[in-house]
Amino acid sequence: MSRSPELDRALGDFAAHERVLVATDFDGVLAPLVLDPMDSRPVEGGMPALAALADLPGTTVALVSGRALEPLRELSGAQDPLVLIGSHGAEDSRQPGGLALDDDQRALLERLDEELAALREAHPGLRVEEKPAGRVVHTRGLPDDEAQAALDAAEELGSRHTALEVTPGKGVVELAVAHVGKGVALVALAEEVRAEAVFYAGDDLTDEHGFEALAEDADADRAARRLTVRVGDGDTLARFRVDDEHAMVELLQALLAARQR
């Protein structure tokens, strides 16, 4: 599917603003979804386009991901001045020392590890990714019925602990003891860098929270300057859609060219 003329016009309008924020998710947007999250690699061209954008005046570029900060940095290859927002907004590459948990949160994380060990025994093939502020249950590669049963069990486990933030996604359920949310993180970052316009691209349920937060602004003019793009299929609150990661790279390259002009 070719890019729509409406999207191209919106891209040109966005690029013309003096101060902008360009933000994207990583998995499913810059890198294809894979069975083992640590095997993920960005498709050719996407990260260089973001790096070139970040070097332009008045342009802040950020990766906003559910991944923990260090794996996000390692897999993306991102370097300063790119901003990395990890763990759904709970980690920020600009903050020294990373994430700080209190005693109650650390105790809950230990309890969560014990219960997830039992969950793995009940659902062989289920994988658990460790993050500084939580754990992620992965079911990619399991037969559909087994995967759904494991995801349901993970969500039920999360519901037993009211202090946990439960975030479902594509073949995953994240259970976090500290959570900000992509929407809150995006709005805060846009305000901090005084962006006149915001671009955000995502592919998952958590990105829909970002699209929603950017659209629901009491300032209608500011909301209209927020350009949101869904990568792939599925219902969305984003203003536009592209097919896949390769189409996303083309979009970023077009944005770079427009911004350079």
122-163, pLDDT tens digit by residue?
999 999 999 888 999 999 999 999 999 999 999 999 999 999
Beta partners for residue 229, in sequence order: 201, 240
**pLDDT for res 98:** 64
- 59 & 170 share domain: no
- 91 & 126 share domain: no
Q: Confidence band (pLDDT; 50, 70, 90) for 94? A: confident
CATH code where residue 133 lies: 3.30.70
Domain boundary among 176, 192, 223: 176
- 82 & 30 share domain: yes
Triad 31, 32, 36: Cα angle to 5°: 100
Domain boundary among 150, 176, 202: 176
Rounded-to-integer distance, Cα 204 and Cα 25, Å:
9
Tell me the average pLDDT of the chain. 93
DSSP string for 63-78: EE-SS-HHHHHHHH--
Is the pLDDT reported for residue 88 higher than 90?
no
For 21-25, 37-41, 155-159, which range has the lowest pLDDT when averaged over its residues?
37-41
**Residue range(s) defining the domain that contains residue 152:** 110-176
- 234 & 126 share domain: no
**pLDDT for res 90:** 85
Is the pLDDT reported for residue 54 higher than 90?
yes
Q: Name the E strands within the chain.
A: 20-24, 59-64, 83-86, 91-92, 127-131, 134-138, 165-169, 172-176, 197-202, 226-231, 240-242
Is the pLDDT reported for residue 1 higher than 90?
no
Per the CB < 8 A criterion, the answer to whether 82 and 116 are in contact is: no
Helix residue ranges, H only, 177-244: 182-192, 205-215, 220-224
> Does the reported pTM lie above 0.85?
no
Q: Confidence band (pLDDT; 50, 70, 90) for 97? A: low
Rounded alpha-carbon distances, angstroms, from residue 190 to 26, 78, 112, 148: 18, 20, 34, 36
Triad 81, 87, 91: Cα angle to 5°: 50
